[in-house]
Amino acid sequence: MFKHFKAISAITVFAGVLTGCSTLTPTTETQESYAIYDIKKNPNLKDSELSDTIRKALQSSLDGVRISRGIPQSPLPEEPSRFKLEQPLQASHMSLMAASAGISLRSPTCEHSILTANASHNSMSSYGESTSFFLCLIPYQSGYHLNLYSTSTKSTGGFGARALGHSLARAVVGDTSSQSQRTVDVIVEELKKNGAQLTLVEAFPSAE
């Protein structure tokens, strides 16, 4: 019975792989996404504890985590700021070449962040898939705003052993875009375990 079940499962996965390979035109897609959470001030939760919890969550989910710890604004503002996207090479020759290749050179930045992190997920880079992740924690009088921004790049189409292997891997573990949401979920879960109260303020794509 179990052998029969395994055979059916294998056929189902293989059929999905063939369906995924039905589009043979090689295509590269980049998806941007972000989420902003409000964290209520908790006198029992220090800035350093929040930062350490976020750092550990990132290290458990992504590769090559780079952390920068900053100084809070003084006095703290009544309303929190949010991240911005900048394109420092706008209108330059390099930016035009990147745009023609479908590459985004926009970089997220935050002012007055006490924690800024950059990370990546490259386990499927050999298949043209990757995820970059940016995070910043900005304090204000009533708490903090946690800004999360990511870009996911994936390649589809083509034919041959490499494309078949790529489709099989995606059918089993999903593409890199799902890694961004998993990372956010891990961060939120770990913060809540440590006593933080989080509320989603805004997100794209919408969580609805």
Tens digits of residue pLDDT in 32-68: 999 999 999 999 999 999 999 999 999 998 888 999 9
pTM as predicted = 0.74
Residue 12 confidence (pLDDT) above 60: no
How far apart are the C-alpha atoms of 144 and 42, rounded to whole Å?
10
pLDDT for residue 130: 84
pLDDT in tens, 157-192: 655 545 544 455 454 445 666 778 899 999 999 999
Structural domain boundaries in the chain: 27-156+175-204
How far apart are the C-alpha atoms of 187 and 197, rounded to whole Å?
12
How far apart are the C-alpha atoms of 77 and 140, rounded to whole Å?
5
The CA distances from residue 122 to 59, 69, 130, 195, in Å, are 14, 25, 5, 32
